Chain A
């Protein structure tokens, strides 16, 4: 085999490997996107597709396994688990969405303000964010529940505050780099005001990073909201919410009726994994791996 032929074979193999990697990456991304889309659609159309009222109890059908009448069985008050999972997707998805969007918006605003204004503004905002960063979300949630009472709204508020520094820290670093790029100086020389430069040029350039952050965080936030409900600080009964369902079904696990915790737990795991894969994929494509 000549060196040309050898180079040609090596080149073909390398191209094939690249193609396989690309396809595999795309397949995973498509699969993750499909799962997320499916769950979002289920949440939106839950009232149309759920076979039962999620809060309708049936004393004659308590803790039943899967059947034609109840695809995923029933819980300890005879409520249909499939219907509760479908309806439960609404608060389970909406709460982390509010957290990520809220933390994304406020965190980005604070980060850009700190980076753009610099000086003591930067030091003050960073110091405040550092203080918030020092409080675990759970501590904030416990304090919030003690002051205002447990509930999903308080859980969302405390988680938004807890997630702010994560977003702001990453965005501030990029905003500082952006601020020192030549195009910003050029825009200044053209006479554009600070506000306009930030809103029309700097923020749009930071958007891919914020989007990646938000997409990746969404899954983790969902897990956190579910965890808060699991320990009684989030959604309250009879709300159908995945974390709460895991908690309510827990006593049945050792008693031979694990279906409620099992299916709610699976829904959380599958959705969080799908979100993480989607976030990682988006990160590759939008920022070239920059996180």
Chain B
């Protein structure tokens, strides 16, 4: 019988383990290997010099599309934020300011006027005008565009050009959230003529892009790499890119990424996981930075029939999951414990920060472990089922660790948690395709709040008929308060209305907040300047990147 041909990966892992064992102490503890959480930074030290080439990694893999209308995930947004610019620009502290729109003004409660910069040119030299902005925004109304931000247009009645550099947006009812939506993929501007010519191929490896950002799309070799070159005619003189060529690779395996970063084959990466962070913590080739983040990890039921649609069981699980232990062991301390599932960065530096802070402080403290109380809650649950199948992405060690802790805790109160590992395409698909949620009761979600506003994220899970309201949650007061918060022009009043809604949905929305992980960024010593905050996701982060004078320039 021939030797099996299918075990190379296993043997390799064993060999690596043996080698590693030879090189490491036999006794390790979480403390000694920990990354030792540092103070959070918004920016890495300012870059001094030019760099000919930087190779960057996208840990969540190759983007499916670079069409700004479809960008709502880590990989496409990380690349696109350097190519296509939004009308308003997100800052590292999650506030926002002028971008391609120099200013904006509500002329009536339902009319927004955007004044565009008149010195912006697309990569092909064509001047950006209001026609490009109108085309970029209105195409997202067309179902064929399959925009992930179509909800931003919910209250919009018309988008028209008020002049060559002015755009007027008319609303059916006031919508303050719209302005904040202009900071992400929804507000990114593409050239109208190019959009028309490219059609459905826009943003693909074949169809390409035409935008105004600090970098141009040079090539996209499917399955291999995406390369950007700097835009030497970039309009923002204060943010001229210092990197000539920026190549993205798609390494999703943590061990491979660790080796690539340590060997210098990859210069940097956002979203460094804990195991990689441990290996890089004392590296001599670069620095690991921690920044504020708008990411959130929680457990949510996937159907109204799920046992976890009964809020008693969610609260019971909350009482057996030691979240301090999760933050300490799964994230090495690089995460924050939350009372709700919305990370505070999204409101912390905005105009109504103090009001939001008061609302957050008024929420009941995150509960500690209390098995007796948890058992009592299980007894109160109306649902009879005690088996819960939870989905997670295969290979996501942090989710697996978290769910293993949850599984052990659940066993103490008579709940049987089964972990189902899904392949990445299945996992991302289940958020949009109900058929992929069949047979599941819950899923662990690692997401992020893209806009500097907490209400937008909550609405998607609480509004009847919303895309992510899988349990058919209905609370008229919550919906009414969130709607008022969305339309209120006064930031403090809007925040107060959100706070009232928050006090309600925190009690009855069946969601189990787990943690808000900090942003972790690794930079090779030869480069610096990139933002360390999670705001990079919608910032032209690579334009800040440059040389330090160390290593090969």
Whether A and B are associated in the same complex: the answer reads yes
Binding site for B on A (CB under 8 A): 55-57, 59-60, 62-67, 73, 76-78, 136-138, 149-150, 166-167, 170, 213, 216-217, 220, 223-224, 226-228, 230-232, 236-238, 243, 246-259, 261-262, 265-266, 268-269
Whether, in the assembled complex, B383 has its beta carbon less than 8 Å from a beta carbon of chain A, the answer is: no
Which of B28-36, B178-186, B429-437 is the interface stretch? Answer: B28-36
Whether, in the assembled complex, B361 has its beta carbon less than 8 Å from a beta carbon of chain A, the answer is: no
Question: Closest residue to A212 on the B side, CB-wise?
Answer: B1
Question: Closest residue to A252 on the B side, CB-wise?
Answer: B275
Q: Contacts of B403 on A, CB cut-off 8 Å?
A: 237
Question: Closest residue to B5 on the A side, CB-wise?
Answer: A136
Whether, in the assembled complex, B328 has its beta carbon less than 8 Å from a beta carbon of chain A, the answer is: yes
How close is B335's CB to chain A, nearest CB, in angstroms?
Answer: 14
In the complex the two chains form, is A137's CB within 8 Å of B4's CB? yes
Q: Contacts of B4 on A, CB cut-off 8 Å?
A: 137, 220, 223-224, 227
- A248→B255 CA distance, assembly (Å): 12
Question: Closest residue to B275 on the A side, CB-wise?
Answer: A251
Whether, in the assembled complex, B348 has its beta carbon less than 8 Å from a beta carbon of chain A, the answer is: no
In the complex the two chains form, is A258's CB within 8 Å of B255's CB? no
Q: Contacts of B16 on A, CB cut-off 8 Å?
A: 250, 253, 261
In the complex the two chains form, is A254's CB within 8 Å of B258's CB? yes
Whether, in the assembled complex, B55 has its beta carbon less than 8 Å from a beta carbon of chain A, the answer is: no
Per-residue CB proximity of B254-273 to A under 8 Å, as 1/0?
Answer: 11001100000000000001
* Choice from B1, B10, B28, B407 contacting A227 with Cβ under 8 Å: B10
Q: A65-B28, A251-B254 are known contacts. Are A227 and B9 too (CB-CB below 8 A)? A: yes
In the complex the two chains form, is B17's CB within 8 Å of A258's CB? yes
A-B pairs, 4 with minimum CB distance: A65-B27, A265-B14, A59-B325, A251-B275
Which of B144-152, B188-196, B394-402 is the interface stretch? Answer: B394-402
* Choice from B20, B329, B408, B419 contacting A62 with Cβ under 8 Å: B329
- A249→B275 CA distance, assembly (Å): 10
Count residues of B near A (Cβ-Cβ below 8 Å).
53
* Choice from A67, A236, A238, A261 contacting B14 with Cβ under 8 Å: A261
- A149→B421 CA distance, assembly (Å): 10
Q: Contacts of A252 on B, CB cut-off 8 Å?
A: 275
Per-residue CB proximity of B395-433 to A under 8 Å, as 1/0?
Answer: 101001101110110010000001111000000000000
Q: Contacts of B6 on A, CB cut-off 8 Å?
A: 136-138, 224, 227-228
- A59→B329 CA distance, assembly (Å): 7
In the complex the two chains form, is A232's CB within 8 Å of B421's CB? yes
Whether, in the assembled complex, B13 has its beta carbon less than 8 Å from a beta carbon of chain A, the answer is: yes
How close is A264's CB to chain B, nearest CB, in angstroms?
Answer: 8
How close is A258's CB to chain B, nearest CB, in angstroms?
Answer: 4
In the complex the two chains form, is B408's CB within 8 Å of A56's CB? yes
13 examples of A-B residue contacts, CB within 8 angstroms: A59-B325, A62-B29, A63-B29, A217-B1, A227-B9, A232-B394, A236-B419, A253-B17, A256-B20, A256-B278, A257-B24, A265-B10, A265-B14
Whether, in the assembled complex, B39 has its beta carbon less than 8 Å from a beta carbon of chain A, the answer is: no
Question: Closest residue to A217 on the B side, CB-wise?
Answer: B1
Question: Closest residue to A220 on the B side, CB-wise?
Answer: B4
In the complex the two chains form, is B10's CB within 8 Å of A63's CB? no
Q: Contacts of A66 on B, CB cut-off 8 Å?
A: 26-27
In the complex the two chains form, is A254's CB within 8 Å of B408's CB? no
- A217→B4 CA distance, assembly (Å): 10
- A213→B1 CA distance, assembly (Å): 7
In the complex the two chains form, is B421's CB within 8 Å of A236's CB? yes
* Choice from B17, B279, B411, B419 contacting A261 with Cβ under 8 Å: B17
In the complex the two chains form, is B329's CB within 8 Å of A77's CB? yes
Whether, in the assembled complex, B322 has its beta carbon less than 8 Å from a beta carbon of chain A, the answer is: yes
- A237→B395 CA distance, assembly (Å): 12
Q: Contacts of B30 on A, CB cut-off 8 Å?
A: 62-64
In the complex the two chains form, is A251's CB within 8 Å of B419's CB? no
Whether, in the assembled complex, B21 has its beta carbon less than 8 Å from a beta carbon of chain A, the answer is: yes
Most chain B C-beta atoms within 10 Å of own C-beta, residue among A57, A78, A167, A170: A57
Q: A253-B20, A258-B20, A265-B18 are known contacts. Are A55 and B408 too (CB-CB below 8 A)? A: yes
Q: Contacts of A76 on B, CB cut-off 8 Å?
A: 329, 397, 401
Question: Closest residue to A103 on the B side, CB-wise?
Answer: B1
Q: A59-B322, A256-B33, A258-B24 are known contacts. Are A166 and B1 too (CB-CB below 8 A)? A: yes
Q: A57-B405, A238-B407 are known contacts. Are A166 and B2 too (CB-CB below 8 A)? A: yes
In the complex the two chains form, is A67's CB within 8 Å of B322's CB? no
- A210→B174 CA distance, assembly (Å): 79
Q: A236-B419, A258-B17, A262-B18 are known contacts. Are A243 and B10 too (CB-CB below 8 A)? A: yes
Q: Contacts of A63 on B, CB cut-off 8 Å?
A: 28-30, 33
In the complex the two chains form, is B26's CB within 8 Å of A255's CB? no
Q: Contacts of B395 on A, CB cut-off 8 Å?
A: 232
- A sample of 19 more A-B contacts (CB under 8 A), given A236-B418, A256-B20, A256-B279, is A62-B329, A63-B30, A76-B329, A76-B397, A77-B329, A223-B7, A226-B10, A232-B394, A246-B10, A246-B17, A250-B255, A254-B259, A254-B276, A254-B279, A256-B28, A258-B20, A265-B14, A268-B10, A268-B14
